[in-house]
Copies of this chain bind each other. A is one copy, B any other.
């Protein structure tokens, strides 16, 4: 599994082979089963994790107690909210594993050492953050103020992995509609007329 992580780092093109081997020693493998928490809302954001395999959902609970999913992450992606981690603030979201996963986690002190000793990591983090920002913009553009049917069509065309791997109720939460509206959209599309 560590090879998945090493391969990811290799593909960034930012690190030499020695730097990769040196870097991964800072990360500890964490094995989590479906349903386990990686971070709980309100706790200090102590780790960032690289998902070697599996999947997570990030969500906040609103006043009515409803789970509000803001994103999913899969293998070969980092799982955390960087701003909160970098500032060591309390997390505004929970991150929970939705498939059995292996996550390579790094603590905040180790993260600081790593950035200090392998400066190319600054560039890796920067590009991860830029991708995050771009994803947020795209979400707004594609899902904000769209009908349930439009949302489902878009996710089907442009994020098909979500349809395959995410439970209906979680996908509905991500799209900001009820499960009923999502199954209705599916039904209409598959039996058109």
Contacts and interface: CB of A to CB of B under 8 A. Distances in A.
Contacts of A7: none
A177 B176 CA distance: 15
A139 B144 CA distance: 11
Contacts of A133: 133
Residues of A in contact with B, size category: under 10
Interface in A105-152: 133, 136-137, 139-140, 144-145
Quick one: copies of this chain in the complex?
A: 2
Contacts of A137: 136
B145 A140 contact: no
Interface string A143-180: 01100000000000000000000000000000011000
A103 B137 CA distance: 27
Interface in A28-79: none
A177 to B, nearest CB: 8
Contacts of A145: 176-177
A84 B30 CA distance: 41
A145 B137 CA distance: 16
A137 B135 CA distance: 12
A55 B139 CA distance: 27
11 contacts: A133-B133, A136-B136, A136-B137, A136-B140, A139-B140, A140-B140, A140-B144, A144-B144, A144-B176, A145-B176, A145-B177
Interface of A: 133, 136-137, 139-140, 144-145, 176-177
4 shortest A-B CB distances, which residue pairs? A145-B176, A144-B144, A144-B176, A140-B140
